[in-house]
Amino acid sequence: MILSKTSSDLSQKWAYLTRPGSGASLDPVSEERKTAFRSRLRYRGPKREIPAQLWVKHPQNGRLLLRRELEEHDWVDPKSGHHFPLSAPQRIRMLVDENSFQAHDEELSSVDFLGFSGKLSYAQKLAENRKKTGLTEAVLCGSARMEDLAVELAVMDFRFLGASMGSVVGERITRCIERGGEQRHPVIIVSASGGARMYEGILSLMQMAKTAAALAKLREQRVPFFSVLTHPTTGGVTASFATLGDILLAEPGALIGFAGPRVIEETTRQKLPQGFQSAEFLLEHGLIDQIVPRRELRQRLIYFLRTLFYYHCESKAC
């Protein structure tokens, strides 16, 4: 801090100007002198820029968190336990064995077959999100291994149009489920979605029935499906495959529901309970089976893979 006089001299001067009964606060000249005094206390050094990518703001309490520290903790605040969103590539790296993920169906991409028009056309929206995320669609599907146990994995990416489920998302997830049944590999789907993709109209809603039918067939084949619900999982995704798992896991604090709380309150004309649609509320009321912190998720899934499927197989590729 750069000052023209010592801090002690200035403090004495301030005490003199504001002493009781001095009338200084009523004297306009004294007010000017106090303003001048405050200006002399301001930092006058060179302006220092804070790198935009250095800090991340906590969405609940506004604290600034070091990005490097969050990355070291898998994007979980070590103090509050808040789980920040992950991209699909980040999630896959966290869950599977290194270099074991083999993507499938990347050639499938959405088209604007309804000719949707608005501020931006659907085609423009798709191009914009492909450039922003580096993905071709809102879900990554493929085969992988977890401690050398074979799985079919689908991970949704909320950055891509809110991970809304259109015809390609539904088709990729359906093919992932069907591969699990054909190869007898357990299926894991990590959901995060705003629901059906309204740019595709009724065709987006048809994906709910298609994915649910594929899971019904998978159950007949006696191959397990593990559903992981992350923040937020809503709309048609919640109403279809996301809640049809043999075991439903959720991250702490995840928003899980169909319609938003405001819509439900206006429709039912009732006040909703505190924490309604949170993972904790849904665990208490029996919709989900366990809440698993992110850094424990891989080992928890491996435990279920071994216990519920591979334990009964003669080999890991049974």
Q: Comparing 299 with 262, which gets the higher pLDDT?
A: 299
Q: Indicate whether 316 pLDDT > 80.
A: no
- What residues does CATH 3.90.226.10 cover in the chain? 86-312
Rounded Cα gap, residues 115 and 123, in angstroms = 9
Residue percentage of the chain with pLDDT more than 70: 82
Cβ neighbors of 142 (< 8 A, separation 6 or more) are 92, 101, 102, 103, 104, 152, 153, 176
Q: Which residues contact 105 (CB under 8 A, 6 or more apart)?
A: 141, 171, 172, 175, 176
How would residue 119 be classed by pLDDT, with cut points 50, 70 and 90?
confident
Q: What angle separates helix 28-40 from helix 7-17, to the nearest 10 degrees?
A: 160
Residue 50 has pLDDT above 60, yes or no: no
User: In which element (H, E) is residue 115 found?
Assistant: none
d(CA 37, CA 232): 52
pLDDT of residue 274: 85
> What percentage of the chain exceeds 90 in pLDDT?
66
Beta-carbon contacts of 208 under 8 Å, excluding residues fewer than 6 positions away, are: 165, 170, 196, 236, 239, 240
26 band by pLDDT with thresholds 50, 70 and 90: very low
Domain 86-312 CATH assignment equals 3.90.1150.10: no
Orientation angle between helical segments 167-183 and 202-220, nearest 10 degrees:
10
The pair of three-digit structure tokens given for residue 208, joined into one six-digit string: 């709910």
Mean pLDDT of 45-66: 78
Rounded to an integer, what distance in angstroms lies between the CA atom of residue 164 and that of residue 142? 19
Which is more confidently placed, 268 or 25?
268
Nearest CA to 111 out of 44, 163, 70, 167 is that of: 167
pLDDT at 261 (0 to 100): 83
The set of residues, in sequence order, having a beta carbon less than 8 Å from that of 298 and lying 6+ positions away, is 94, 95, 146
The residue among 263 and 187 whose pLDDT is bigger is 187
Cα→Cα distances 233→19, 146, 215, 239, Å: 61, 24, 18, 10
Tokens of 119: 């501020």
**Predicted confidence band at 3 (pLDDT cuts at 50, 70, 90)?**
very low
CA distance 229 to 314: 31
Whether the per-residue pLDDT at 24 is higher than 60: the answer is no
Highest mean pLDDT, choosing among 10-24, 105-119, 149-163:
149-163
Mean pLDDT of the chain: 88
Residue 314 has a pLDDT of 54
**Residue 262 clears pLDDT 90, i.e. is over it:** no
Measure the CA–CA gap between 98 and 147, rounded to whole angstroms. 10
Alpha helices in the chain, H assignment, sequence order: 7-17, 28-40, 67-72, 88-95, 122-133, 167-183, 202-220, 235-238, 261-268, 279-284, 294-308
